[in-house]
Amino acid sequence: EDGHQLWLRPHATVPVTVVAPASRSVLLATAKQELQQGWQGNAGATVTLTLKKDKAIRYDGYRISPSGVQAVTERGLLYGVFELIRCQQTGQAAQAGVSNPSYEYRLLNHWDNPDGSVERGYAGQSIFWRKDSSFVTTSRDKTLWQEYARANASVGINGAVVNNVNASPRILSAEYLARVKAIADVLRPYGVKTFLAVKFSSPVLLGGLKTADPLDPAVVKWWQAKAKEIYQQIPDFGGFLVKASSEGQPGPQDYGRTHADGANMLADAVRPYGGLVMWRAFVYSPSDKDRAKQAYNEFVPLDGKFRDNVIIQVKNGPVDFQPREPFSPLFGAMKKTSVMPEFQITQEYLGHSIDLAFLSTMWEECLGSDTYQAGPGSTVARVTDGSVYPQKHTAMAGVANTGLDRNWTGQDFGQANWYAFGRLAWNNQLKSAQIADEWLKQTFAGAADQQATASAADWNANFLAPVTQMMLDSREAVVNYSMPLGLHHIMSATHDHYGPGPWWAPPKMRADWTPPYYHQADAQGVGFNRTTTGSNAVSQYHEPLASQLNDPATCPDEYLLWFHHLPWDFKMKSGNTLWNELCAHYDKGVHQVRQFQQTWDQTRPYVDAERFAAVQNKLRAQSGAAVLWKDACLLYFQQFSKLPIPASVEPPMHTLDGVIANDMVRPRPLPRP
Ligand code: BDP
């Protein structure tokens, strides 16, 4: 049990007869095969797969009926088959009726570099690229890509951007495109489309042109020719993802052009082939007073100026994938443009592949947030999935956490985040409790080394219930021990965003990359004043939210220090002072992780030895990290608050000098049990 099978572990099956339309398509063959190899329903049953027009079915949706699965596309049939099997495995009755995906495109973004490294990857090297690659596709490559594509299909993911948004121009060279084609050929039978991230200056760097100006006819021609070259090899190629004029990446602004000019030029190049351009809104300049405001400021004026095959890809929060952020105010504000959410599955700011953090609750929180942009109930989910605005295209992206590690994601529970992303992209109203329940049943049921003992009731009570609860609490625990009450971006820079670093601010470093820019701690208090008396970022939210966030009395505790700079003795809703409340949150986080350790220790009879020990080791490391976070942050902030740590809080076991010295000087190798 090395976890390689993910949530698709083999299990006892029974024979089934599949009736399907005659077709030579590989997708349909995949659907039939999955059904035959995974059927656990009535032995000898007949299941009919039907392709038929049906007004109730949208995109790759499907209809389940007692006789089988009906869909409009072959992909839809495959997803219906996976739904039947998922229900059989998790002991649910398959719901008769239609299931439509919330989003047309459900995509993973791989931040994989051509040299095989993965930016913010914590599960080994890339599954797509390798340094020594002679670009011969080996059978090992193919097997791995096939397993990957199958896992995606099983949760409805239908697209993959196979290289980093900080894109190398080389990815568009003939040599690399040949490998992209090889990847696309393996992903296709599972309905996964291949996309590429492209560097805006590719016409210069790869094509030898003098400029990448999007309005220059030679540039336009270069991209058109490149698109043609790609589609000749990969007729169903998905399109481009672009990070432009952002964090040092080239973009249209280098030529005095707008994001719309840049995006539209690329959109025109792929339009003849039905291609899509996902243009990221992750932009901010070093000099602005409030990074959180910038994407909105740059993009809202461009609303309505984009071609209809452009989607603006917006990170869930206005800063950068922090453990908790309010939703990005761009959601719902761009009313005449397709907008898609981007989540980070890889745990860059939530403990890499060491800490256990089930991110479904974070995404559920974001999707359920009310933007009020078209009246109450205009949730992030509804303003991005076409329910509120007539978006031409809808999509959701997740920055993948996969690598060559045998279990794909480093931490075994990281698999749950890949799973949850797919499930939420299919149905943005799903509840995290259901997702955790499904994932645990498929990933761990029947996995004990000493099988015999556990009855179903025993397993449910002693494994499923406590571990589900642990998963549901896990993200909030990370928030508590790292960045509670709206604190953000106070992690260590030296250790690649793992562990605390509220002090980190080397001279000459751009301010908006340093934690003090975000926490603003001083003798008077702590927090970023984004109210009307500060940066006024609150004004980017729609009423009544703007007023609610603007007033510390009505601003939810979770976002308090995101929007307010408050005195250390500020009276919280709980009756505590801000300082005592902060201490209590850090302490709570530490205790939550210790509770997770106890919970997990008690699951030993129900889990195979290998995964049991792996998770146990990770939790031990996480427990240490939580104490370090608490000690470091409380001791650091105490320099400003000058207040005692309450007796109810576990006293620090570190010294501030000690943790700072350790953070600055010694890059710590990450434990890899
Ligand atoms: C930040 C990451 C950086 C990415 C960037 C992005 O630290 O590695 O390139 O996001 O999303 O969070 O472009």
CATH code, 166: 3.20.20.80
Same domain assignment for residues 127 and 224: yes
> What is the pairing mode between strands 193-198 and 159-161?
parallel
User: Cα(601)–Cα(588) distance, rounded to whole angstroms?
Assistant: 20
| Within-domain flag for 538 | no
The per-residue b/e assignment along 262-273, b for 16 or more CB within 10 angstroms, e otherwise, is bbbbbbbbbbeb
Contact (Cβ atoms closer than 8 angstroms) between residue 278 and residue 235: no
- What tokens were used for 250? 């080239």
CA distances to 173, 223, 344, 362, 538 from 479, rounded to whole Å, are: 43, 44, 16, 10, 22
Last residue in a domain, options 45, 70, 99: 99
Same domain assignment for residues 379 and 524: no
Element counts in the chain: helices (H) and strands (E): 20, 15
Atom of ligand 1 nearest to the CA of 243: 13
| Within-domain flag for 10 | no
CA distances to 211, 347, 584 from 630, rounded to whole Å, are: 50, 19, 10
What DSSP state is assigned to residue 460?
I
Give the H/E segment covering residue 518.
Answer: helix 515-519
| Within-domain flag for 584 | yes
Distance 565 CA to ligand 1 centre (A): 27
Structure confidence by residue, pLDDT tens digits, 25-41: 899 999 999 999 999 99
Same domain assignment for residues 25 and 117: no
Q: Count CB-CB contacts under 10 A for residue 441.
A: 21
Same domain assignment for residues 170 and 229: yes
Q: Is the CB of 291 under 6 A from ligand 1?
A: no
Atom of ligand 1 nearest to the CA of 342: 11
The per-residue b/e assignment along 390-418, b for 16 or more CB within 10 angstroms, e otherwise, is ebebbbbbbbbbbbebebbbbbbbbbbbb
Atom of ligand 1 nearest to the CA of 320: 12
Same domain assignment for residues 289 and 169: yes
Atom of ligand 1 nearest to the CA of 119: 8
Same domain assignment for residues 90 and 233: no
* Catalytic (active-site) positions: 247, 320, 348
| CA 161, chain centre distance (Å) | 13
Same domain assignment for residues 329 and 366: yes
Q: Is the CB of 343 under 6 A from ligand 1?
A: no
Q: Is the CB of 285 under 6 A from ligand 1?
A: no
By alpha-carbon position, which residue is closest to atom 12 of ligand 1? 320
Q: What is the pLDDT of residue 668?
A: 52
What DSSP state is assigned to residue 94?
P
Q: Is the CB of 489 under 6 A from ligand 1?
A: no
User: Cα(374)–Cα(356) distance, rounded to whole angstroms?
Assistant: 37
Same domain assignment for residues 387 and 362: yes
Distance 318 CA to ligand 1 centre (A): 13
Q: Is the CB of 198 under 6 A from ligand 1?
A: no
Q: Is the CB of 303 under 6 A from ligand 1?
A: no
Last residue in a domain, options 39, 71, 99: 99
Indicate the top mutation candidate among 122, 168, 280, 282 to test ligand 1's pocket, ranked by most ligand atoms within 8 A of CB. 282
Atom of ligand 1 nearest to the CA of 165: 13
Q: Count CB-CB contacts under 10 A for residue 151.
A: 22
- φ, ψ of residue 504 in degrees (nearest 5): -70, 110
User: Cα(569)–Cα(641) distance, rounded to whole angstroms?
Assistant: 9
Q: Is the CB of 145 under 6 A from ligand 1?
A: no
By alpha-carbon position, which residue is closest to atom 2 of ligand 1? 120
Same domain assignment for residues 112 and 93: no
| Within-domain flag for 533 | no
Domain CATH code at residue 508: 3.90.1330.10
Helices (H), 335-410: 360-368, 380-384
Distance 202 CA to ligand 1 centre (A): 20
Same domain assignment for residues 384 and 295: yes
Q: What is the pLDDT of residue 135?
A: 74
By alpha-carbon position, which residue is closest to atom 1 of ligand 1? 320
Q: What is the pLDDT of residue 436?
A: 98
| Within-domain flag for 623 | yes
- φ, ψ of residue 633 in degrees (nearest 5): -70, -40
- What tokens were used for 40? 């656990």
Give the H/E segment covering residue 516.
Answer: helix 515-519
Q: Is the CB of 348 under 6 A from ligand 1?
A: yes
Last residue in a domain, options 82, 99, 116: 99
| CA 265, chain centre distance (Å) | 28
The interface predicted TM-score of the complex, written ipTM, equals 0.99
Same domain assignment for residues 148 and 31: no
| Within-domain flag for 154 | yes
Rounded (10°) CA dihedral 498, 501, 507, 510: 60
Contact (Cβ atoms closer than 8 angstroms) between residue 555 and residue 549: yes
User: Cα(203)–Cα(223) distance, rounded to whole angstroms?
Assistant: 7
Domain count, the chain: 3
| Within-domain flag for 473 | no
Residue 499 region, left (φ>0) first, then alpha (ψ -120 to 50), else beta?
Answer: left
Q: Is the CB of 179 under 6 A from ligand 1?
A: no
| Within-domain flag for 279 | yes
Domain CATH code at residue 63: 3.30.379.10
What DSSP state is assigned to residue 541?
S
Distance 50 CA to ligand 1 centre (A): 43
Edge-to-edge strands of the sheet including 16-19?
16-19, 45-51, 68-71, 62-65, 97-99
Q: What is the pLDDT of residue 673?
A: 42
User: Cα(619)–Cα(481) distance, rounded to whole angstroms?
Assistant: 14
Sign, Cα dihedral of 106, 111, 117, 120: negative
- The residue segments making up the domain with residue 94 are 16-99
Distance 362 CA to ligand 1 centre (A): 18
Residues of the chain with pLDDT under 70: 133-134, 449-454, 665-673
Same domain assignment for residues 304 and 331: yes
Atom of ligand 1 nearest to the CA of 246: 13
